[in-house]
Structure 1
Amino acid sequence: MSDPTAEFFARLGRRGHEPLLEEVTGTIRFDLAHEHGIDRWFLEISQGDLRVSREEREVDCVIRTSRDLFDRLAKGQEDQYAAWVRNEIRAEGEARLAYLLQRVLPGPPGAHHPRAFAPERRGPA
């Protein structure tokens, strides 16, 4: 059986550096509730350099949600903003870090980057 959350954090940790987060420094703790307790993941961002761990540490932001919802977010099957509006995701601390989560979550299955469809720029017509 696959574990979308663990796979998401493993991919994020292997990324090493995320250009979309080069202006960001801070640590986020993810508290993911399920029927047996709470799973905790830590994401440390240092000017775009990413480090994922399960080690307890001081954090700047805590994001709380259910493990089931995070599994769907990690697979691109759930819209982060809709979940915020439904109050299924909560954040404490530095809100900017919680907002930036959208930069590392996958889009919906089959989604393409908008530039993939942009016509090539040609010289003057």
Structure 2
Amino acid sequence: MSDPTANFFEAIGRRGHIRLLEEATGTVRFDLEHDHEIDRWYLVIEHGDVRVSREEGGADCVVRISRATFDRIVTGRSHIYAAWVRNEMRTEGDVRLARFVQRLMPGPAGAHHPRDFARGRRRPA
């Protein structure tokens, strides 16, 4: 069975440097709640260089969310901002880091980048 959360974090870890996070520095801990347990994932960000860890430690920002909701977000079936507004996700500490992490989340299935959409509209028919 596929694990969307593990796949998401492993893919981020393989990327190493992420341009979208070059203005960010800090550690984000994700507390993913399920079956009366908590899975913890850490993102250590240093000016775009990203390392993923499962080691326990302090964090500048803590994101608490159910594992099921996080799975929906990382598969594009839900949006992180909507979960935040519905109070399905809670953050503590440097919320700015959570906003940076939002940039890593996939869009809905079948979504296109606005520039790609605009380029397609300019092509002659």
- TM-score, structure 1 length as denominator? 0.92
Where 2:119 maps in the other structure, the secondary structure is: coil
Where 1:118 maps in the other structure, the secondary structure is: helix
- 1:73 is matched with 73
Deviation at 1:49, TM superposition (A): 0.5
Which runs of 5 or more residues in structure 1 are unaligned? 121-125
- 1:102 is matched with 102
Which runs of 5 or more residues in structure 2 are unaligned? 121-125
Deviation at 1:98, TM superposition (A): 1.2
Aligned length: 121
In 2, Cα distance between the equivalents of 1:85 and 1:68?
A: 17
Corresponding letter in the other structure for 1:67: R
In 2, Cα distance between the equivalents of 1:67 and 1:25?
A: 25
In 2, Cα distance between the equivalents of 1:36 and 1:4?
A: 20
Q: Deviations over 1:4-59 (max 9, x none)?
A: 00000000101111101111100000000000400000000000011001011221
- 1:40 is matched with 40
1:89 aligned to 2:63? no
Q: Deviations over 1:86-122 (max 9, x none)?
A: 10000000010111221011111111111112238xx
Percent identity between the aligned chains? 64
Corresponding letter in the other structure for 2:107: G
- 2:60 is matched with 60
- TM-score, structure 2 length as denominator? 0.92
- 1:50 is matched with 50
In 1, Cα distance between the equivalents of 2:28 and 2:82?
A: 21
- 2:123 is matched with none
After TM superposition, the runs of 4+ consecutive aligned structure 1 residues lying more than 6 A away are: none
- 2:17 is matched with 17
Where 2:52 maps in the other structure, the secondary structure is: strand
In 1, Cα distance between the equivalents of 2:105 and 2:23?
A: 18
